[in-house]
């Protein structure tokens, strides 16, 4: 047995990554139908008990039957116990519990099925994150392992081994999510019978879970003064409406009404699609001051640095027809990119104010926290945030501030005086 990154890797069970993952043919099923019950006797070889048996594998896109030998136990184990181990090893094959596709390698499946078939169904940002995790963590570790050898025990060893890693708990959690997505995909297409990642645990956190950052109204107003237009208006709308940045970028003039905004589209770095969920596809009430600031973009002239140290002026809104975007790139009038705005305008302004952690998610969290501070009922806040569940609004987005805590202690003190 060879060991690779803490995963048992059988020398005789590796499928070449050049192999094509072909669908099972009629001939394959006929071969499977001819499978006979195996009950070979364990043999003692040196200091171990071993078992020689037949196993179906893929080679160059064809199903072949190979004779393989596996070590069962040390020679000191009684023969009857070794027989039980051998029986358990052969049980999946004898009962037909191993599917044809399970002989495919993990890397082969990821590159030939998962990436071209499942990843295109995800948002661009999610797709990029998944590809990075597959490339940097999962393929180097599990690349040569067959799908049928991706057992809960082997995977839990890998997850438990992350305890010594410097990665954050959130990064470890995302690695587990991506691995679960891959194996869930293999289950969906009938290559494995179950998802071995389900129910597996990560090492405990080294630190307590920190609260999601949010900004105060005072910090918000100072932040706006340091950001140039039209990006300041984007930040203003984000905080006062709770819209996700992908929804801001996709906002069209037909979606802006007298006292409300309709969210029916999103755009993430050139990738267009429907809102995140059915609950996200909605019309929300908006303060008229927000609408007025959005409408003011039509008359706004933006000055930017041009070539050779000069300056150029552009209309913030090139066209305001119903189907045109509200927030248009300054030079070409196309859809903006959230990461460019964040790195060039929001982050530098936040650093000057001593809040370098400010980002688009922080603005949405701040909106929810301000709703809580204003005494808005959680159900109403859920509608405004367009969450499917009120628990998401309450537990994840509405942060407890020092002011909330002092108010709670003050109420407790008043109550204790009443009962004394």
Which of these ranges, 153-162, 211-220, 406-415, has the smallest mean pLDDT? 406-415
- For residue 375, tell me if it sits in a domain: no
Q: Using the predicted structure, report yes or no on whether residue 396 has a pLDDT greater than 80.
A: no
C-alpha to C-alpha distances, 343 to 37, 207, 357, nearest whole angstrom: 64, 28, 11
User: Residue 239: what pLDDT?
Assistant: 95
Per-residue pLDDT of 67-83, as tens digits, reads: 889 899 899 999 999 99
Q: Of 83, 103, 123, which residue constitutes the final position of a domain?
A: 103
Instruction: Tell whether 99 and 222 lie within a shared domain.
Output: no
Distance CA 145, CA 128 (A): 24
* Band of pLDDT at residue 103, cut at 50, 70 and 90: low
- For residue 245, tell me if it sits in a domain: yes
Query: Nearest 5 degrees, angle CA 399-CA 402-CA 407?
Result: 105
Q: Of 103, 130, 165, which residue constitutes the final position of a domain?
A: 103
State the CB neighbour count (10 A cutoff) for residue 13.
Answer: 19
CA dihedral 280, 281, 286, 291 (to 10 degrees): 120
CATH code of the domain containing 283: 1.10.443.10
State the CB neighbour count (10 A cutoff) for residue 61.
Answer: 13
Note the helical H segments in 145-267. 152-160, 169-188, 217-225, 231-241, 245-249
- For residue 78, tell me if it sits in a domain: yes
Q: Residues 241-255: what's their mean pLDDT?
A: 95
Q: Residues 237-266: what's their mean pLDDT?
A: 95
Please return the burial class of 233, using the count of CB atoms within 10 Å of its CB with bins 0-12, 13-18 and 19+. buried
Where does residue 6 fall: left (phi above 0), alpha (psi -120 to 50 degrees), or beta otherwise? Answer: left
Distance CA 338, CA 361 (A): 11
Q: Residues 236-258: what's their mean pLDDT?
A: 95
User: Residue 164: what pLDDT?
Assistant: 85
Residue among 20, 23, 29 at smallest CA distance from 56 = 29
- For residue 42, tell me if it sits in a domain: yes
State the CB neighbour count (10 A cutoff) for residue 230.
Answer: 22
DSSP state of 134: I
> pLDDT exceeding 90 applies to what percent of the chain?
52
Q: Of 51, 86, 103, which residue constitutes the final position of a domain?
A: 103
Instruction: Tell whether 97 and 225 lie within a shared domain.
Output: no
Domain total for the chain?
2
* Band of pLDDT at residue 6, cut at 50, 70 and 90: very low
User: Residue 392: what pLDDT?
Assistant: 85
CB contact at 8 A, 66 and 54:
yes
Q: What is the chain's mean pLDDT, rounded?
A: 84
Residue among 393, 267, 260, 383 at smallest CA distance from 325 = 267
Chain centre distance of CA 261: 28
Element (H, E) at 408: helix 402-419
Domain that includes residue 341, residue range? 217-358
- For residue 127, tell me if it sits in a domain: no
Beta strands in 264-391 (DSSP E): 266-268, 271-273, 282-285, 301-305, 311-315
Instruction: Tell whether 221 and 354 lie within a shared domain.
Output: yes
Classify 210 as helix, strand or coil. Answer: coil
Chain centre distance of CA 248: 21
User: Residue 104: what pLDDT?
Assistant: 76
User: Residue 33: what pLDDT?
Assistant: 45
* Band of pLDDT at residue 299, cut at 50, 70 and 90: very high
User: Residue 350: what pLDDT?
Assistant: 96
Q: Using the predicted structure, report yes or no on whether residue 98 has a pLDDT greater than 80.
A: no
Instruction: Tell whether 224 and 91 lie within a shared domain.
Output: no
- For residue 180, tell me if it sits in a domain: no
Distance CA 368, CA 372 (A): 6
User: Residue 59: what pLDDT?
Assistant: 59
- For residue 86, tell me if it sits in a domain: yes
CA dihedral 409, 412, 416, 419 (to 10 degrees): 170
Q: Residues 95-119: what's their mean pLDDT?
A: 79
- For residue 413, tell me if it sits in a domain: no
């Amino acid at each position: 047995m060879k060991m690779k990154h803490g995963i048992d890797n059988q020398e005789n069970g590796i499928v070449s990554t050049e192999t094509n993952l072909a669908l099972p043919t009629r001939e394959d099923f006929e071969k499977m139908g001819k499978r006979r019950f195996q009950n070979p006797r364990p043999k003692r070889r040196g200091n171990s008990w071993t078992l020689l048996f037949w196993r179906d594998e893929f080679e160059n896109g064809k199903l072949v039957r190979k004779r393989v030998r596996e070590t069962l136990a040390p020679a000191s184990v009684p023969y009857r116990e070794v027989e039980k181990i051998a029986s358990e090893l052969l049980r999946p094959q004898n009962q037909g519990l191993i599917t044809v596709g399970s002989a495919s390698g993990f890397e082969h499946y990821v590159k030939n099925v998962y990436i071209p078939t499942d990843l295109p169904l995800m948002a661009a940002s999610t797709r990029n994150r998944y590809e990075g995790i597959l490339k940097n963590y999962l393929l180097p570790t599990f690349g040569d392992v067959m799908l049928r050898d991706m057992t809960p025990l082997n995977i839990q060893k890998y997850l438990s081994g992350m305890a010594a890693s410097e990665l954050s708990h959130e990064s470890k959690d995302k690695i587990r999510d991506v691995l679960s997505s891959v194996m869930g995909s293999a289950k969906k297409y009938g290559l494995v019978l179950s998802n071995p990642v389900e129910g597996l645990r990560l090492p405990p956190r080294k630190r307590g879970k920190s609260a999601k950052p949010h900004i105060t109204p005072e910090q918000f107003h100072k932040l706006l003064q340091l950001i140039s237009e039209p990006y300041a208006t984007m930040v203003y709308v984000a905080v006062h409406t709770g819209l996700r940045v992908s929804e801001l970028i996709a906002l069209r003039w037909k979606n802006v009404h007298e006292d409300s905004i309709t969210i029916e589209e999103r755009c993430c770095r050139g990738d267009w699609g429907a809102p995140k969920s059915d609950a996200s596809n909605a019309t929300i009430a908006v303060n008229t001051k927000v609408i007025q600031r959005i409408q003011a973009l039509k008359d706004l002239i933006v000055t930017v640095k041009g070539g050779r140290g000069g300056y150029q002026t552009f209309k913030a809104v090139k066209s305001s027809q119903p189907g045109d975007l509200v927030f248009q790139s300054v030079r070409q009038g196309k859809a903006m990119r959230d990461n460019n705005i964040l790195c060039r305008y929001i982050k530098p302004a936040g650093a000057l104010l001593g809040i370098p952690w400010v980002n688009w998610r922080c603005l949405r969290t701040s909106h929810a926290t301000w709703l809580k501070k204003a005494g808005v009922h959680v159900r109403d806040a859920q509608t405004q945030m367009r969450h499917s569940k009120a628990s998401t609004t309450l537990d994840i987005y509405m942060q407890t501030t020092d002011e909330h805590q002092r108010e709670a202690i003050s109420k407790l003190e008043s109550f204790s005086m009443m009962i004394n």
